[in-house]
C-alpha cells in the first residue's frame, strides 16, 4: 500500500500585519472571514443590472475596447469543466478542469497584456 503525502503549492505570499488591518477578521479555526458589511456589499454588487459591464471595465483597465475579449477571459476565470478522477479505492475525486485560451489577432492589439493580466489574477495559470 502506497502512502499518500499532502503538500501545499505556494506561488507567493504576503504577510499581513493584523494590527494595521481593520477589515480582516478570523473565525474559531483561525481562518480569515468576511465581515457582515462585506458580505452585504457583495450581495448588493451581485444584484446590479450593469454587473458584467462593471467587471469588464475593471478587467485590464489600461487596455481600451476589446470588451468581448475581456468578457471571454473573465468567464474563463469563473468557469471551467469539472473533472472526475478516480483513485485506487474506487472513490471519485473532482477538481476544476484546466482552462485553455488562444488569442489570435493583429499585432499590437494587447493580446499579451490581457493574458498577463489574467496571470496576475490567477497566478497558477501559465
Structure confidence at residue 74 (pLDDT): 86
Q: What is the pLDDT of residue 110?
A: 87
Averaged pLDDT, 58-87: 81
Sequence spans of domains, the chain: 26-121
pTM of the model: 0.58
Q: What is the DSSP string of the chain?
A: -PPP------S------TTT-SS-EE-TTS-EE--HHHHHHHHHHHT-TTHHHHHHHHSSTTS-S-HHHHHHHHHHHH--PEEEEE-TTS-EEEEEPP--------TTSSHHHHHHHHHHHSTT--
Amino acid at each position: 500500500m502506497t502512502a499518500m503525502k499532502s503538500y501545499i503549492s505556494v506561488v507567493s505570499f504576503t504577510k499581513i500585519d493584523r494590527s494595521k488591518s481593520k477589515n480582516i477578521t478570523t473565525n474559531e479555526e483561525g481562518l480569515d472571514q468576511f465581515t457582515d458589511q462585506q458580505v452585504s456589499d457583495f450581495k448588493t454588487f451581485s444584484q446590479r443590472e450593469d454587473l458584467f459591464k462593471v467587471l469588464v471595465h475593471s478587467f485590464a483597465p489600461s487596455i481600451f475596447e476589446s470588451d468581448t475579449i475581456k468578457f471571454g477571459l473573465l468567464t474563463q476565470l469563473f468557469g471551467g469543466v469539472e473533472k472526475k478522477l478516480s483513485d485506487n479505492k474506487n472513490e471519485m475525486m473532482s477538481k476544476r478542469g484546466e482552462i485553455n485560451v488562444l488569442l489570435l489577432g493583429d499585432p499590437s492589439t494587447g493580446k499579451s497584456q490581457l493574458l498577463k493580466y489574467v496571470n496576475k489574477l490567477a497566478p497558477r495559470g501559465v
